[in-house]
Amino acid sequence: MSSRVPRASGYFRTRYDGYLALTQTRLERVSLIVFLAALIVFPAVASAFYLDLVTQVFLASIGALSLMLLTGYAGQISLGHAGLLCAGAFTAGILAKEWDAPFWVTLPAATLSGALLGVIFGLPSLRLRGLYLAISTLALHFVVVYLGGEYETKRGFSTGITLDAPVIGGWTVYGGRVWYYILLAAAAATLLICLNLLRGRTGRAWRAICAHETVAEALGVNVAGHKLLAFVVSSALTALSGALFAYYRGFVSVEAFSLFLSIQYVAMIIIGGMGSLLGAILGAAFVTIFPYVIEAVMLMLPNAQSYAGVLFAVNYAAFGLVMVLFLLFEPLGLVGIWQRIQTYFLLWPFKHKPLSGGRR
Amino acid sequence: MQLLVNIIVLSSIYALIACGYVLIYRVSRVLNLAHGELMMLGAYLLLTTASLFNGNPWLAISAAVALSLAVGVMVYVFLMRKMTGEMVLAAVLATVALGILLRGVMVLVWSAQQQYPGQAMGFTSTALALPGGARISLFAAILVGVTALTYLALFVFLRFGRWGVRMRAAGQNPLLAAQRGINLHGVYALAWGLSTLTGSLAGMLIALDSGLTGSMAIIGLKAFPAALVGGLDSLIGALIGALIIGASEVLSIQYIDPLLSDVVPFLVLIAMLIARPWGLFGTREELDRV
């Protein structure tokens, strides 16, 4: 993970713990602390709108990180991510609505249902590869969303389920700032889980499967088990993010979990950059903020009111266009751009890395 | 009897759409998830040409068909050509992105309201009575006929046509085909053009029959299981798959629950993927190639 990042001279790993450490240099530690401090201070200075925006980025990054584990590292394509979010949101919603289950029951239950669904989503992966796997997850997405819709109509919540604000120990979780910190913690925990999984044996096994299944099997990796594990971990985290989404919005409806949402999550990891956790977060931020940027630009145009009705269409078109442009011209995504900038400054005044084999 | 007619009409809709998936997959091993949107685009093109050539419906239809062929070729030249040799996921996602782009552009250009190209061209839909007390609308009957003709034409073209043989060769082994002097880009572009053309035909006929809204792309997506159940690289398979999907959808609406209509195709798809992923008539070694 970190070995790809180019470094200036003077930093050499001399022990194996260097490979396993979360942060490598003092600069990294300092910038991490500064970044965290900025995130913690942010609600004190931001307006409600920006607070909501960043909170949405946190929510999206949980989903994007878990999809990145599955697609970016384990190499299993999934187009059914919205189905898993839907499952998590509905598990939390149904438990809270039907049995008045508290927050600390619904969240683990949603995670568990995600894990179970992960097994179901993952079972086809034992036989299918590539395209066919993507299709099977796509089909499962439709099935899960149908079940959610069926519950809504059968129980008479045809517009959706409303959720009460969760109560933890007699204290009601309410307000943008509280949710900001909860979701920040959740996103940070997800990132840590992903990092820990990836720098250990499991992550190496996933990368081996992604690179070549037969070779991985020959090297003694339990391919079937690790594929299923990737699906289970990813789905459980996604369902958790779905449940958090339901509580944050206070409302669950199948309309929110269309195929477009699945595509948005896939777009996050494509735009961010495949095979990089940083990419997942960058992509989540990009895709979440993008519609608001489009809206702001549209409002700046003359005659803004007349465009209001077609805003969603402009959003669609622009989103599709950006995705096409990234696929065509920057397949490595935002991380690729970032790495190129880093390399530029590292090598300056030279343009290219010295050819390997030549004298350094 | 009415049930049977419904099954046949729905199946021929699916079959006409599914052959577009099969054509592209067979030739270039790319799955075109923008097919539903391309089909919708064809219908909207008909709307435009209908108002352009007012009072001359046949000219309007042939202009729309020609335009849709051109659209398909352009999609290949400007987008998919650059994706050749990329990861499978990248090529599929490019088509997904194209679909989203098209959907937005279509709403911008033609608005999201329901429209009736049939009225714009002065056609009126009448219901025909069939023996056995069943009824079928005129356009649905035409659709069944067009589907049969399209499949017949495709069979003849792929078996005897010069370019048809080239297409099959390119699908079997692109490298060898290129070695024998077959223009791969030309063949791929032709496949995209033909696929968009058949899809657009389906889109136009559905629009003539029941109007045109932004939700038409869903039909395109629902036709995809038909292509896969039959085997993604087999035209006969697409026909049979469409029959299976159409029948199971109509029957489950009739006897179980109308809400099921959107998922039944996908349930059949999952069952097929578990039992026989390469489809009823598909070639098996394909799975390893993907």
**pLDDT classification of B56: cutoffs 50, 70, 90:** confident
pLDDT of residue A356: 59
Map tokens 């093109």 to a residue. Answer: B45
B88 in contact with A at a CB cutoff of 8 Å? Answer: yes
Amino acid at A46: A
A74 in contact with B at a CB cutoff of 8 Å? Answer: no
Give the three-state DSSP class for A19: helix
Taking one residue from A and the other from B, the number of pairs with CB-CB distance under 8 angstroms is 124
Residue B25 has pLDDT above 90, yes or no: no
Closest Cβ–Cβ partner in A128, A132, A320 for B98: A320
Find the mean pLDDT for residues A25-45.
85
Q: How many CB atoms lie within 10 A of CB A58?
A: 27
Residue B286 has pLDDT above 60, yes or no: no
First-last CA distance in chain A: 25
pLDDT of residue A232: 93
Q: Which of A88-102, A180-194, A248-262, B106-120 shows the lowest mean pLDDT across its residues?
A: B106-120
Query: Measured between alpha carbons, how far is residue B287 from residues A14, A75, B273, B284 in Å?
Result: 45, 16, 12, 6
The pair phi, psi for residue B284, each rounded to 5°, is -80, -40
Residue A356 lies in a domain: no
Find the mean pLDDT for residues B98-113.
84
B270 in contact with A at a CB cutoff of 8 Å? Answer: yes
**Residue contact A320–B101, C-beta within 8 A:** yes
Map tokens 């994007």 to a residue. Answer: A64
**Residue contact A131–B103, C-beta within 8 A:** no
**pLDDT classification of B290: cutoffs 50, 70, 90:** very low
Query: Measured between alpha carbons, how far is residue B80 from residues A327, B83, B99 in Å?
Result: 11, 5, 13
CATH code given to domain B2-123+133-289: 1.10.3470
Q: Which of A162-166, B42-46, B135-139 shows the lowest mean pLDDT across its residues?
A: A162-166
Query: pLDDT tens-digit profile of A249-278?
Result: 888 888 888 888 988 998 898 888 888 888
Mutation site for A-interface testing, chosen from B81, B100, B222 by largest number of A Cβ within 10 Å: B100
DSSP letter at A251 equals E
Residue by residue, DSSP assigns B146-191 as: HHHHHHHHHHHHHHH-HHHHHHHHHHH-HHHHHHTT--HHHHHHHH
Query: pLDDT tens-digit profile of B237-255?
Result: 888 888 898 888 888 888 8
User: From CA A284, how far away is CA A266, in angstroms rounded?
Assistant: 10
**pLDDT classification of A237: cutoffs 50, 70, 90:** very high
Tell me how close the Cα of A148 comes to any Cα of chain B, in angstroms.
12
pLDDT of residue B122: 67
The pair phi, psi for residue B137, each rounded to 5°, is -75, 155
Which residues are CB-contacts of A125 (< 8 A; sequence separation ≥ 6)?
Answer: A76, A133, A227, A228, A231
Task: Between B43 and B217, name the one with better pLDDT.
Answer: B43
DSSP letter at B212 equals B
Structural domains in chain A (count)? 1
User: From CA A114, how far away is CA A108, in angstroms rounded?
Assistant: 10
Percent of chain B residues topping a pLDDT of 70: 92
For residue B107, the chain A residue with the least C-alpha distance is: A313
pLDDT of residue A350: 78
Mean pLDDT of all residues in chain A?
A: 83
pLDDT of residue B287: 46
pLDDT of residue A58: 92
Enclosing domain of residue A213: 26-261
Closest Cβ–Cβ partner in A128, A263, A328 for B273: A128
Which residues are CB-contacts of A56 (< 8 A; sequence separation ≥ 6)?
Answer: A288
B101 in contact with A at a CB cutoff of 8 Å? Answer: yes
User: From CA B266, how far away is CA A259, in angstroms rounded?
Assistant: 13
Tell me, rounded to whole angstroms, the distance of Cα A325 from its chain centroid.
Answer: 21
A131 in contact with B at a CB cutoff of 8 Å? Answer: yes
pLDDT of residue B212: 77
**pLDDT classification of A32: cutoffs 50, 70, 90:** confident
Tell me how close the Cα of A166 comes to any Cα of chain B, in angstroms.
33
C-beta separation of A346 from B143 below 8 A: no
Task: Between B111 and A38, name the one with better pLDDT.
Answer: A38
Percent of chain A residues topping a pLDDT of 70: 90
Residue A5 lies in a domain: no
Find the mean pLDDT for residues A276-288.
90
**pLDDT classification of B233: cutoffs 50, 70, 90:** confident
Question: Which chain B residues touch A135 with a CB distance below 8 Å?
Answer: 31, 224, 228, 269, 273
A298 in contact with B at a CB cutoff of 8 Å? Answer: no
Give the three-state DSSP class for A206: helix
A314 in contact with B at a CB cutoff of 8 Å? Answer: yes
B273 in contact with A at a CB cutoff of 8 Å? Answer: yes
User: What element of type H or E holds A172?
Assistant: strand A171-172
Tokens of B202: 């389906």
Mean pLDDT of all residues in chain B?
A: 83
Tell me how close the Cα of B62 comes to any Cα of chain A, in angstroms.
28
Q: Quick one: B221 exposed, middle or buried, by C-beta within 10 A (0-12, 13-18, 19+)?
A: buried
User: From CA A165, how far away is CA B60, in angstroms rounded?
Assistant: 58
B38 in contact with A at a CB cutoff of 8 Å? Answer: no
User: From CA A6, how far away is CA A59, in angstroms rounded?
Assistant: 30
User: From CA A338, how far away is CA A272, in angstroms rounded?
Assistant: 10
Tell me how close the Cα of B94 comes to any Cα of chain A, in angstroms.
6
Residue A304 lies in a domain: no
**Residue contact B273–A136, C-beta within 8 A:** yes
pLDDT of residue B285: 54
**Residue contact B108–A77, C-beta within 8 A:** no
pTM: 0.86
Give the three-state DSSP class for A198: helix
C-beta separation of A253 from A159 below 8 A: yes
B86 in contact with A at a CB cutoff of 8 Å? Answer: yes
Q: Which of A97-106, A133-142, B171-180, B199-208 shows the lowest mean pLDDT across its residues?
A: A97-106
Residue B40 has pLDDT above 80, yes or no: yes
Residue A307 lies in a domain: no
Percent of chain B residues topping a pLDDT of 90: 9
Query: pLDDT tens-digit profile of A157-167?
Result: 767 777 777 77
Peptide bond just before A349 cis, omega within 30 deg: yes
Residue A4 has pLDDT above 50, yes or no: no
Residue A64 lies in a domain: yes
Tokens of A359: 């004298």
Find the mean pLDDT for residues B82-101.
83
pLDDT of residue A46: 79
Maximum Cα interatomic distance, chain B, rounded to a whole number of Å: 58
Mutation site for B-interface testing, chosen from A136, A152, A212, A307 by largest number of B Cβ within 10 Å: A136
**pLDDT classification of A354: cutoffs 50, 70, 90:** low
- Bridge-partner residues for B93, per DSSP? none
Task: Between B144 and A22, name the one with better pLDDT.
Answer: B144
A266 in contact with B at a CB cutoff of 8 Å? Answer: yes
Tell me how close the Cα of A18 comes to any Cα of chain B, in angstroms.
33
User: What element of type H or E holds A162?
Assistant: strand A161-162
Q: Which of residues 112-151 of B touch A (CB under 8 A)?
A: 112
Tell me how close the Cα of A101 comes to any Cα of chain B, in angstroms.
29
User: From CA B163, how far away is CA B182, in angstroms rounded?
Assistant: 9
pLDDT of residue A275: 83
Query: pLDDT tens-digit profile of A332-353?
Result: 888 888 888 888 887 777 777 6
